[in-house]
Structure 1
Amino acid sequence: MFVAYMKEPATRRFLLIVSSMVLILSLIVVLVHGDRLLLGDPVKLNNDDVKYIHSAKVLLHEGMLVYNSGNAPSAFIMPGLPLILSGWMAIFGDQNGVTAFRVFQCLLQALCIFPVYAVARHTFNHRVGVITALIAAVYLPDYFTSGSVLTEGVYRIIILMLLCSMIAALHSKKTLWYVVVGLWTGAAAYFKPQASLFPCMMLFLWLVYRYSFKEIVRFTFAILAAYIALLVPWWIRNAVTFGDFILFTSSAGSPFLLGTRIKYQLPPPGFFAAFPQYDPQTIFAGSDGEAIAKGLDILKYGLVHEPLKYMYHYTIGRFYSLYMVPFYLHDIFSIKKSFVWAVQDILVCGGLIGMVWAFIRKIGKPLLPVLLAIVYFTGIHLPFVAMSRYGYPMFIFFALFAGFAVDQALAILQKVKTHTREVGHDAKSTGYHTGL
């Protein structure tokens, strides 16, 4: 898919120009802002980014993955970011390694332009691909991400490449492409485990494209085999270190329980009267098993006593938190969050309009991969904590549909101008438009 597009000289030239612009701007952001984009204090270790830096240093110098565990080994997080960051530190030193990692993220942001264009063009056409690539090039949260030390920069390009691989596998029916799908899924799991079930969406695509049962079994095995092969080192490490099988992570603090908090508040006062075994001081503490039971009790009480409030929280509220709030946690060149927030609202609303428009136009099968990605990654976050950081990798698909809406609006304007010109020409040629 992408290789075919890159054979077109004009397309190749356009993408290289846009990606180069993104790279230059990203590098400027990194060099000008530097550590000012950190969210935490490197001494206090009070946010994810500084904890990642600390983990990478310990991993490099002591060969041990730690996170929220002092000097003891941890399975609190997936190891993807500390592994990459420690690699840059090994080459350039602890401090310069962080800068090198940021430069690496700048390159990833620039490279994202290519799969963004490819997915948009496959879904719609060349002009939508161009519009979407331009939106991606000026989207300010991307430049914040370039300078941050978080998982989102690497994770987003992995998701884009995973989606491109799924599209290529779907149309080629080649086992190798399905192995690539499994490998990209495994790579995504090393940063965010919630991506692991995304290839399940292939089952729906296989049915739509009339795959045989034999093909479905063969390609499912190819995806699973590649995925398992990539995750085996992590499972072995956990078994050796902790004497137990840990599929992904083992952490305190349940995203499911924390997701029951509305505006970060405690459950309603009546909840503690109805469930006296819980205490406001300890309700959000405890093991994962206890946390799930607590979360279910909070939901049970909330849906009975404040059903509209809780239904809103788990539907529109979740969507708003994921997509309507920009992942822009520090101002870039004094551009305020209020401006970025307004742009975010316009693009997401434009994307929703584009989705409806695409359904009206009955575009059909090419829409499915992107729509399934939005449905999957939105749905998988609904029961849990939802925030802009989790919605950020999916924003580009709303930009894609916004690009389609812009494309359709331009087409309508062009038709109106052409029609007006033709009417004016006809009136003039017949003597009716005389100016008298």
Structure 2
Amino acid sequence: MLTYSGWREPTVFIMPGYPLILAGVFSLVGSTSWLAARFFQILVSLAALWFAVKLGTRLGGRPVGLLSGMLVAVYPPNLTAPCFLMTEVVFTCLLLVSLVSFAKAEETRRAGWFVLTGFLLGLSVYFRSTSALLPVIFGVYLVLRGYPWKKMLVDVSIMGVVLVLCLSPWIIRNYLIYKQFIPLTVSGGNPFLRGTYLNNKIDEKLPWIEGDRISSDRAQMEYGKKRFVEGFKTNFRAYLRWYTIGKFSDFWGGPYYYRQLTYLPAKWVNMFHRFLLWTGLAGLIAGLWRRKPLPLLFLLVGGYFTFIHMV
């Protein structure tokens, strides 16, 4: 289900964090209970809510913290996300914990907090490989905040080394099985190729090598690069618009994985989603104007994930 192939077959299609979580839950309850997995995700969502309050409090005091927690609690996709057996719930919680830890690390400038931040980021990569470069983003943030260069390099190196150490069991496992250096996954070819089709309209069969998922993914990556180059050569304006305005709107224009509830029509949820985006952006800009530190961090992290998903 998670790898789109048989469970007996080793894979590098996804990171192993979520399958390990499911295995732990199933082992604890003694059966493959999807209800138990969903209940676990509800508990993780509650933990994420608490860390959202902590971040909000750091941003603007207790009132902002409580407001942040309330908005996270009532945001409709967060009500339905625990029903989906996907990485979003656990990763969101780990990302929030990482941000709290990093904020404390910047405040105290103690190595221990940077070690903890690197460890938390390493855990988050086990669920979403796109978070692997967050230590670099944190380094950019420290520089923009006037952090001493030498101290920044040391602290970013600490986070990076700890992150790599966390990933070392996965990297070693991949080398032993595939005889290749695979630090994360081999599954980027398909989404990259799909992203080259204007407005997500796929009008042809994608490359596929029967019985070899790694080669299939790499073939799709190469074909995607070819389409990307040819697209900008032959239809520059359309591709430029798609890779800027189009994908940005696609990424931020609506809530993620929202399953419509009878008492919450999708139209209302979309309106609430856009209201939160605009008011949140206004709040971050106001925080920057007042020279508060966290708005810059939030904008950098949000910009990083936006860029990654627009490529």
By the TM > 0.5 criterion, same fold?
A: yes
TM-score by length of 2: 0.88
Alpha-carbon distance change, 105 to 299 in structure 1, aligned in 2, over 3 angstroms: same
1:135-154: CA deviation from partner (whole Å, max 9, x where unpaired): 11111111111221110000
1:308 to 221, 237, 243: 237
1:388-410: CA deviation from partner (whole Å, max 9, x where unpaired): xxxxxxxxxxxxxxxxxxxxxxx
1:223 aligns with 2:151: no
Q: Please tell me the residue identity of whatever aligns with 1:376.
A: Y
1:343 aligns with 2:272: yes
- In our comparison, the structure showing a higher alpha carbon Rg is 1
TM-fit CA distance, 1:283:
5.2
1:269-322: CA deviation from partner (whole Å, max 9, x where unpaired): xxxxxxxxxxx4345776444333322332233323433322222122222222
Runs of 4+ in 1 over 6 A off after TM superposition: none
Alpha-carbon distance change, 116 to 252 in structure 1, aligned in 2, over 3 angstroms: closer
TM-fit CA distance, 1:260:
0.9
The DSSP-based 3-state class of the residue aligned with 1:72 is coil
1:167 and 1:369 in contact (8 A); partners too: no
Please name the residue that 2:94 is paired with.
Answer: 158
Alpha-carbon distance change, 345 to 79 in structure 1, aligned in 2, over 3 angstroms: same
1: distance between equivalents of 2:171 and 2:225?
30
2:59 and 2:292 in contact (8 A); partners too: no
Please name the residue that 1:197 is paired with.
Answer: 133
2:205 to 252, 274, 281: 281
Which aligned pairs between 1:32-43 and structure 2 lie closer than 5 A? none
TM-fit CA distance, 1:344:
1.2
Q: Please tell me the residue identity of whatever aligns with 2:303.
A: V
TM-fit CA distance, 1:105:
1.0
1:128 aligns with 2:52: no
1: distance between equivalents of 2:242 and 2:146?
38
Alpha-carbon distance change, 355 to 213 in structure 1, aligned in 2, over 3 angstroms: closer
Which aligned pairs between 1:96-245 and structure 2 lie closer than 5 A? 96=33, 98-245=34-181
TM-fit CA distance, 1:95:
3.5
The DSSP-based 3-state class of the residue aligned with 2:132 is helix
Please name the residue that 2:227 is paired with.
Answer: 298
1: distance between equivalents of 2:265 and 2:232?
38
1:250 aligns with 2:186: yes
TM-fit CA distance, 1:159:
0.5
1: distance between equivalents of 2:153 and 2:275?
43
1:89 to 17, 26, 40: 26
Alpha-carbon RMSD: 2.4
Which aligned pairs between 1:398-409 and structure 2 lie closer than 5 A? none
The DSSP-based 3-state class of the residue aligned with 1:320 is helix
TM-fit CA distance, 1:340:
1.4
2: distance between equivalents of 1:210 and 1:240?
44
Q: Which runs of 5+ in 1 are unaligned?
A: 1-50, 53-65, 268-279, 384-436
1:194-218: CA deviation from partner (whole Å, max 9, x where unpaired): 1010111222233234433442343
TM-fit CA distance, 1:256:
1.5
Q: Please tell me the residue identity of whatever aligns with 1:317.
A: G
TM-fit CA distance, 1:189:
0.8
1:258 and 1:284 in contact (8 A); partners too: no
Alpha-carbon distance change, 369 to 296 in structure 1, aligned in 2, over 3 angstroms: same
State the percentage of identical aligned residues: 27
Q: Please tell me the residue identity of whatever aligns with 1:123.
A: L
2: distance between equivalents of 1:135 and 1:179?
31
2: distance between equivalents of 1:126 and 1:91?
37
The DSSP-based 3-state class of the residue aligned with 2:143 is helix
Alpha-carbon distance change, 227 to 154 in structure 1, aligned in 2, over 3 angstroms: same
1:350-404: CA deviation from partner (whole Å, max 9, x where unpaired): 2233344445x44343422111111111112110xxxxxxxxxxxxxxxxxxxxx
1:56-96: CA deviation from partner (whole Å, max 9, x where unpaired): xxxxxxxxxx6524632111111111101011111213333
TM-fit CA distance, 1:333:
4.9
Q: Please tell me the residue identity of whatever aligns with 1:368.
A: L
Q: Please tell me the residue identity of whatever aligns with 2:272.
A: V
1: distance between equivalents of 2:29 and 2:281?
44
Alpha-carbon distance change, 314 to 329 in structure 1, aligned in 2, over 3 angstroms: same
1:178 and 1:219 in contact (8 A); partners too: yes
TM-fit CA distance, 1:253:
4.3
2:118 and 2:163 in contact (8 A); partners too: yes
TM-score by length of 1: 0.65
Q: Please tell me the residue identity of whatever aligns with 2:20.
A: L
